[in-house]
Amino acid sequence: MNLNEIKTALISFEAEIEKMEKLWMDKPEGYIEAIIRDYSALKEKLKTEAAKVETNRGQQSATPEEIAFYFPAVNEAQLELYTRSGSKPSEKMMLHLAEASSQISHYRMGIET
């Protein structure tokens, strides 16, 4: 991935988190199930993306930009998601999402400077 593709991917992760935070704040009908589903999907997606660089083949095929920005962002974000997949949404889960978003934002801002 080039820098623009990385930035777009990171913005997409941030948007997914923002969507869950909005659901939590607005509490529309079905919000609990939506957050459970979206949180579990995001956690799995971040974990899968972070694991790509763990193999030698992943490291060899990764671009310098991915190594500098993308993989650290997704790895650190997934490490912040302590709440188990399938758990009922809570303030603690929202805090974990905010921390993950902060990690992603940190690396995205690094691209922009």
Give the pLDDT confidence of 72-102 residue by residue, as tens digits: 999 999 999 999 999 999 999 999 999 999 9
Two tokens, residue 37: 């589903």
Give the pLDDT confidence of 22-34 residue by residue, as tens digits: 999 999 999 999 9
pLDDT score of 86: 96
- The label of the residue with tokens 């659901």 reads 23
CA distance 85 to 23: 17
Q: How far is CA 92 from the centre of its chain?
A: 16
Domain range summary for the chain, segments of one domain joined by +:
3-112
Q: Please give the model's pTM, rounded to 2 decimal places.
A: 0.93
Residue of 19, 48, 39, 55 lying closest to 96 (CA atoms) = 39
Question: Given a cut of 90, is residue 103 above it in pLDDT?
Answer: yes
Give the H or E element holding residue 48.
helix 31-51
